Structure 1
Amino acid sequence: MSLQASTHCPVSQRLSQLRDAMSALQLDAYIVTNNDPHSSEYSADHWLARRWITGFTGSAGDAVITPDGGGLWTDGRYYIQAEEQLQGSGLPLFKARLAETPSIPEWLAQTLPANSRVGVDGRTISYAFYQQLQTAFADKAIDIVLEHDLIGGIWHDRPVRPTTPVFNHPLQYAGQTTAQKLAQIRQYMTSDQVDDLLISTLDDVMWTLNIRGGDTPYCPISEGYLLINAQTATLFIDLQKLPEDVQSKLEAQGVSCQPYEHISDVLGKLDAGHHFRSCASHSDARLICSLPDGLTVTHQRSYVTDMKASKNDTELENMEETLRLDGIAMVKFMTWLEQQVPGGDVTELSAEQQLQHFRALAPTYLGDSFRTIAGFAEHGAKMHYAADEDSNKPVDESNFFLVDSGGQYLGGTTDITRTFSFGTLSQQQRIDYTLVLKAVIRLSQARFLKGSTGSNLDVLARGVLWQQGIDYKCGTGHGVGMCLNVHEGPQNFSQSPTEVELKPNMVITNEPGVYREGEYGVRIENIMKVVKIEQNEFGDFYGFDTITLAPIATHPLEPALLDASERQWLNDYHAKVFDALEGDLTPQERDWLQRATAAV
Structure 2
Amino acid sequence: MNIKSKICELRNLMKKHNMDAYIIPSDDSHQSEYVGDYFKCRKFISGFTGSAGTVVVTQNEAGLWTDGRYFIQAANQLEGSDIKLFKIGEEGVPTIEEYLYESMENGSILGFDGRVVSAKVGDNLKNKLSNKNIEICYEHDLIDEIWEDRPKLSDKKAFLLDIKYSGESSESKLSRLRETMKQKNVTTHVIATLDDIAWLFNIRGDDVKYNPVVLSYCVVTLDKVFLFIDENKLNDEILKELNNLEVEVLAYNDVYECIKNIDENECVLLDKNNVNYAILNSIPTGVKIIQDFNPIMFFKAKKNEVELENIKNSHIKDGVAFTKFMYWLKKNVGNIDITEISATEKLEGLRKEQDGFMQPSFTTIAGYKEHAAMMHYSATEDTDYKLEKEHLFLIDSGGHYIDGTTDITRTIALGDLNDELKTHFTAVLRGMINLSMAKFLQGVRGYNLDILARRPIWEIGIDYKCGTGHGVGNLLSIHESPNGFRWYIAPHIVDSAVFEEGMVTTNEPGIYIEGSHGIRIENELITRKAEKNEYGQFMKFEVVTFAPIDLDAIDVDQLSKPERDYLNKYHELVYNTLHDHLDDDERKWLREYTKNM
Aligned to 1:584: 581
Whether 1:497 and 2:489 are equivalent positions in the alignment is: yes
Selected match of 1:426 from 409, 415, 418? 418
Give the percent of matched residue pairs that are identical in Structure 1 and Structure 2.
40
- Specify the alignment match of 1:312 in structure 2: 304
In 2, Cα distance between the equivalents of 1:120 and 1:519? 40
**Matched residues in 1 for 2:295 and 2:488: separation?**
22
**Selected match of 1:13 from 5, 15, 18:** 5
**1:238 and 2:230 correspond:** yes
CA distance in 1, matches of 2:414, 2:348: 21
- Alpha-carbon deviation of 1:359? 0.7
| Correspondence 1:390-405 to 2 at 5 A | 390-405=382-397
| 2:210 counterpart of 1:228 | no
Where in structure 2 are the equivalents of 1:96-115 lying within 5 Å?
Answer: 96-115=88-107
- After superposition, give the CA deviation of every residue in 1:417-470 in whole Å (9 maximum; x if it has no partner): 000112111110000000000000111111111111001111111121111100
How many angstroms does 1:99 deviate by? 4.8
- In the alignment, residue 214 of structure 2 is paired with which amino acid? S
CA distance in 2, matches of 1:96, 1:202: 27
1:542-579 CA distances to partner (integer Å, 9 max, x unpaired)?
A: 11111101110010111110011111000000000111
Conserved 8 A contact 1:344-1:394: no
Tell which deviates more after alignment, 54-63 or 241-250.
241-250
Shift of 1:253: 2.9
| Cα distance in 2 between the residues matched to 1:325 and 1:561 | 32
Q: CA offsets, 1:40-79, max 9 Å, x none?
A: 0001010000011001100000000011112100000000
Amino acid at match of 1:593: L
- The answer (yes or no) to whether the contact 1:450–1:503 under 8 Å persists in 2 is yes
Q: For residue 269 of structure 1, report the CA deviation from its aligned partner.
A: 1.4
Secondary structure (helix, strand or coil) at the match of 1:227 reads strand
Match of 1:374 in 2: 366
Runs of 4+ residues over 6 Å off in structure 1:
none
1:479·1:487 contact (CA, 8 Å) conserved in 2?
yes
Aligned-partner Cα distance in 2 for 1:265–1:95 = 39
Alignment of 1:92-131 (within 5 A): 92-131=84-123
What are the superposed Cα offsets for residues 363-409 of structure 1, whole Å, 9 maximum, x if unpaired?
21110000000000110000000011111110112211000000011
Contact 1:330 1:355 in 2 (8 A): yes
Counterpart code for 1:592: W
RMSD: 1.0
Match of 1:149 in 2: 141
Shift of 1:495: 2.2
> How far, CA to CA, are the matches of 2:288 and 2:421 in structure 1?
58
Tell me the residue number matched to 2:256: 264
CA distance in 1, matches of 2:92, 2:293: 29
Check if 1:348 corresponds to 2:345.
no
- Secondary structure class of the residue paired with 1:374: strand
Does structure 1 retain, via aligned residues, the 8 Å contact 2:426–2:558? Answer: yes
Equivalent residue runs for 1:123-522 within 5 Å: 123-498=115-490, 499-522=496-519
Counterpart in 2 of 1:560?
A: 557
State the Cα distance separating 1:529 from its structure 2 match: 0.7
- Write out per-residue CA displacement over residues 472-531 of structure 1, whole angstroms, 9 at most, x where no aligned residue: 000000000000000000011012315510111111000000001011100000000111
TM-score normalized by the length of structure 2: 0.98
Q: Please, which runs of 5 or more residues in structure 1 have no aligned partner? A: 1-8
Secondary structure of the equivalent of 2:290?
Answer: strand
Counterpart contact for 1:434–1:561, Cα < 8 Å: yes
Shift of 1:141: 1.1
| Aligned partner of residue 482 in structure 2, secondary structure | strand
What is the rounded CA distance, in whole Å, between the counterparts of 1:460 and 1:143 in structure 2? Answer: 47
Deviation sequence 1:304-341 (CA, Å, 0-9, x none) = 00001110110011001111110011111111111221
Question: CA–CA distance in 2 between the matches of 1:145 and 1:107?
Answer: 18
Distance 1:253 1:148 in 2: 37
Contact 1:330 1:550 in 2 (8 A): yes
C-alpha contact (below 8 Å) 2:428/2:511 kept by paired residues: yes
Once the two structures are TM-superposed, the CA of residue 344 in structure 1 deviates from its matched residue by 3.8
Q: How far 1:283 moved relative to its partner? A: 0.9
Residue 49 of structure 2 aligns to a residue whose secondary structure is coil
Deviation string, structure 1 residues 124-155 (Cα, Å, up to 9, x no partner): 10001011101210211111110111000000
Contact kept, 8 Å, 1:347 with 1:393, in 2: the verdict is: yes
Contact 2:75 2:85 in 1 (8 A): yes
Cross-structure match for 1:533: 530
Match of 1:545 in 2: 542
Give the alignment's TM-score, normalised by structure 1.
0.97
Structure 1 distance, partners of 2:437, 2:356, is: 32
Question: Counterpart of 1:60 in structure 2: which amino acid?
Answer: A
CA distance in 2, matches of 1:531, 1:283: 32
Equivalence for 2:493:
none
- Tell whether 2:68 aligns with 1:79: no
Partner of 1:3: none
User: Match of 1:555, SS?
Assistant: helix
Contact 2:361/2:400 (<8 A) preserved: yes
Q: 3-state SS of the aligned residue for 2:532? A: strand
Q: Deviations over 1:193-235 (max 9, x none)?
A: 1111111110000001000011122000111011111111121
Cα separation, 2, equivalents of 1:211 and 1:550: 31
How far the C-alpha of 1:107 sits from its partner, in A, is 1.1
Q: Secondary structure at the match of 2:410?
A: strand
| Counterpart residue type for residue 574 of structure 2 | V
Shift of 1:342: 2.2
Q: Matched residue of 1:124: which SS?
A: coil
Aligned with 1:342: secondary structure?
Answer: coil
Deviation at 1:167, TM superposition (A): 0.6
- The separation in 2 between residues aligned to 1:114 and 1:459, in whole angstroms, is 45
Of the three residues 37, 53, 58, the one matched with 1:66 is 58
Residues 398 and 424 of structure 1 are in contact (CA less than 8 Å); yes or no, is this contact kept in structure 2?
Answer: yes
Q: How far apart in 2 are the matches of 1:372 and 1:279?
A: 31
Q: Which residue of 1 aligns with 2:15?
A: 23
- Secondary structure of the residue aligned to 2:434 is helix
* Aligned residue pair count: 592
Q: Deviations over 1:101-128 (max 9, x none)?
A: 2211111012211111110011110001
* Unmatched tracts of structure 2, length 5 or more: 491-495
CA contact (8 A) 1:344 1:396 kept: no
**In structure 1, C-alpha distance between the alignment counterparts of 2:294 and 2:351, rounded to whole Å:** 33
Query: In terms of mean alpha carbon deviation, does 456-465 or 508-517 score higher?
Result: 456-465
Q: Which amino acid in the other structure matches residue 436 of structure 2?
A: S
* 2:115 aligned counterpart, secondary structure: helix
1:524 aligned partner = 521
Partners of 1:138 and 1:496 lie apart in 2 by 30
Contact 1:366 1:408 in 2 (8 A): yes
Partner of 1:34: 26
Aligned 8 A contact 2:35 2:209 in 1 = no
